[in-house]
Amino acid sequence: AGGTNDALILVDYDATGESGAHKQVLATKSEIGSTYGAAVNRKAGEVYVGAFLKRHVGLRETGLSNPLGGIFVHDFTTGSNDIWLDLTSVGATVGTVSSNTTRGLGGTTTPTNDPETFPLIGKVGLGDMDISTDNDTLFVVSLADKTVYALSTSDKSLLRT
């Protein structure tokens, strides 16, 4: 079953056709907001996704000092979705954007204009992410300061930039 609030989905590798039977919703917009980069930690059974600014799509604001720095984790064992880290907490600059409310983002049937974000797409928030082959280091790109941050997956500490 599809839904307008699906934000992170899993599709069977060998799925064919257009049926939603092979689709599993891992996270909703309210849990993670707008995201882009993703990395799978096979050792821990988790997938990380990073906040990414898109027009007409809200960011998760709850629990983050800056919603553009949010890195979220989905645990395949428990099915839970949590904030893994706010990248600004390790000194990253991720840019700024007005709140979802100020941007005029309402319900799924409410028209939006969202002009503020047009010049910011691809310049603020987080870009792609990857994980080391041993699953011990998560690499995350900050689009605002054009820096790759290497983070320990065990304690979330900054290893290097």
Question: Which tokens is 157 given?
Answer: 């500490």
d(CA 12, CA 8): 14
- Phi (first) and psi of residue 22, to 5 degrees: -95, 10
**What pLDDT sits at residue 150?**
98
Burial-class residue 151 by CB neighbours within 10 Å (0-12, 13-18, 19+).
buried
Q: What percent helix, strand, coil does the chain show, rounded to 5?
A: 10, 40, 50
Token pair 């000194």 is at which residue?
A: 91
**What pLDDT sits at residue 4?**
64
Residue 85 contacts by C-beta under 8 Å, 6 or more apart in sequence? 71, 151, 156
d(CA 142, CA 149): 8
Token pair 């079953």 is at which residue?
A: 1
**What pLDDT sits at residue 1?**
35
Average pLDDT per block of 10 residues along the chain, 161 residues long: 72 79 87 96 98 94 95 97 97 96 81 90 97 98 98 97 93
- Phi (first) and psi of residue 62, to 5 degrees: -70, 130
